[in-house]
Amino acid sequence: MDLSGVISFEPSLPEGVEAASASSLPAAVEAALSVLPDGCARDGLGILVNDPQRHTDTRAVLQCLAGRVRLDRCRVRVATGSHRFAADRRRQFEGKLLDGLLAVPVAWHDPDAPAALDGPLLAIGSVEPHYFAGFTGAHKTCTIGFASCAEIEQNHALALSPQARPGRLAGNPVHEGILQLLGELERRTPVAAVNLVQAWRRILGAFGGRVGETHPPAAQLAGATFLRRIDSPADAVIAEVSGPLARSFYQADKGIKNNEWSVRDGGALVLLADCPDGIGQDDFVGLLREAPTYRQAVEIVRQRGYRLGDHKAVKLRYLTDPACRGVRVFVVSDGLTDADADVLGLARAASLEAALAAAGVDPRRHRVLRVADAGNLCVLPRGD
């Protein structure tokens, strides 16, 4: 199949960013420390970091902190939200994070028995579009990352709102709920943040200070890097996901959610992701098994109440149900079985070319988009 007619999108550096990024991290760290009480650098503080499913270059921030604070008196706490990690995965993550640095105690959040955050805190986050929270960032790290299962459910239930979209903050109930949690935390204890914007494993910009003050400029840079606008939806979209987000369908699904609005109703979407961990966290699969249609999924959630992960199932059914958007979704992945694809409502294909052929899509006659780094990059129709 001739793919030369495919229109490609990838993250791009906004003008002037590369030159500015080299010096942005030390200044951001200094700005973050400056808003915390005197003595924190000497007496230690709680450092809140993202878990292994994020791209965040936490180690670079810790290396920068090493010359400014007593790391041996700090406590590193890993914000997992509802994610679960085996012991060997935790050890591997801790080893890479702290290699060559002083021994620092590391504690992992447990949503079933959450420990209260106390003392001066420094949250390290990375800002990229998020398919229902608008943008990620340190505001999410220090709230949802350390919330109980009940609190996460309460917030994520808002993801069923049509206003919960990638790149959208104003009027997004999920984002507004996170800000409410942040306000409650800041009333209890001092919190600072270092927010990174990254692409191609490079830090494009770093922003330090109070959590809420660092997010708007970081989101502006992340939007310029990861949001693309098109005039009208395409016949087919190819979403490529790699890195940590490609380890499981649970995370790789962000490539679908970020870009589902760039394909027309009745069109085709092809997900390219290795998914060596298979489906991964599978809370949402139960609802998919019970509800082969969008209407059934919504009715089940209405009757029994929202459960964590339901938003993922409901949105997937809305995308694929012929009575709704009717988009045919194909997955090219060695890590997913035919049975996995069947319960997800997707079709497995041996290759990209095979998926397009099965969908009846020919790039010479149809408008086809290819989105690199689709777990972060969002292609959206104008006005969406």
pLDDT of residue 349: 97
Per cent of the chain over pLDDT 70 is 99
Q: Among residues 129, 215, 127, which one has the least CA distance to residue 166?
A: 129
Supply 187's token pair.
């009333």
Residue 64 resides in a domain: yes
Q: Among 54, 55, 65, which residue's Cα sits nearest to residue 28?
A: 65
Give the tens place of pLDDT for each residue, 253-307: 999 999 999 999 999 999 999 999 999 988 899 999 999 999 999 999 999 999 9
Domain of 205 in residue numbering reads as 17-226
For tokens 């878990």, what's the residue? 51
Indicate the number of domains in the chain: 2
Residue corresponding to tokens 């997900």: 271
With CA atoms as reference, report the closest residue to 254 among 312, 169, 175. 312
pLDDT attached to residue 134: 96
Do 368 and 242 lie in one domain? The reply is yes
Per-residue model confidence (pLDDT) at position 265: 98
Average pLDDT, the chain: 94
Contact 346/355 with Cβ under 8 angstroms? no
My answer on whether 38 and 132 are in the same domain is yes
300 with 154, same domain: the answer is no
Q: What is the CATH number of the domain that holds 179?
A: 3.40.50.11440
* Same domain, residue pair 128 and 25: yes
Is the same domain home to 114 and 195? yes
As a whole number, mean pLDDT of residues 144-154 equals 96
- pLDDT tens string 74-88: 999 999 999 989 999
Query: Residue 22: pLDDT above 70?
Result: no
Q: What does the radius of gyration of the chain's CA atoms come to, in whole angstroms?
A: 21
Residue 259 falls inside a structural domain:
yes
Geometric angle at alpha carbon 147, from 143 and 149, rounded to 5°: 145
Confidence category of residue 174, pLDDT binned at 50, 70, 90 = very high
Do 116 and 155 lie in a common domain? yes
pLDDT (tens digit per residue) in 338-354: 999 999 999 999 999 99
Q: Is 290 exposed, middle or buried (0-12, 13-18, 19+ CB in 10 A)?
A: exposed
d(CA 197, CA 138): 11
pLDDT digits (tens, 9 = 90+) for 86-110: 999 999 999 999 998 888 899 999 9
> What CATH number is given to the structural domain containing 237?
3.90.226.30
| Cα separation, 219 vs 232, whole angstroms | 24
pTM of this prediction? Answer: 0.90
Distance between CA 115 and CA 57 in Å, rounded?
25
Q: Is residue 164 part of a domain?
A: yes
Q: What is the DSSP letter of 322?
A: T
pLDDT tens digits, one per residue of 283-298 = 899 999 999 999 999 9
- Dihedral sign from CA coordinates of 233, 236, 242, 244: positive
- State which of 194, 226, 258 marks the end of a domain: 226
Would the pLDDT of 19 be above 70? no
Q: Which one-letter DSSP state was computed for residue 158?
A: G
User: Could you tell me if 329 and 200 lie in one domain?
Assistant: no
Q: Give yes or no: residues 289 and 363 share one domain.
A: yes
On whether both 112 and 254 belong to a single domain, the answer is no
Q: For residue 223, is pLDDT > 70?
A: yes
Select from 226, 258, 284 the last residue of a domain.
Answer: 226
The whole-number pLDDT of residue 1 equals: 80
Query: Which residues, other chains included, contact 24 with Cβ-Cβ below 8 Å and sequence gap of 6+?
Result: 203, 205, 206, 207
Q: Which of 168, 199, 226 is the last residue of a domain?
A: 226
**Domain assignment present for 4:** no
- Cα 244 to the chain's mean position, in Å? 10
Q: Is residue 12 part of a domain?
A: no
Do residues 101 and 37 share a domain? yes
* Structure confidence at residue 87 (pLDDT): 95
- Identity at 369, one-letter amino acid code: L
**Which phi and psi angles does 227 have, rounded to 5°?**
-105, 130
Could you tell me how many helices (H) and strands (E) the chain has, helices first? Answer: 15, 16
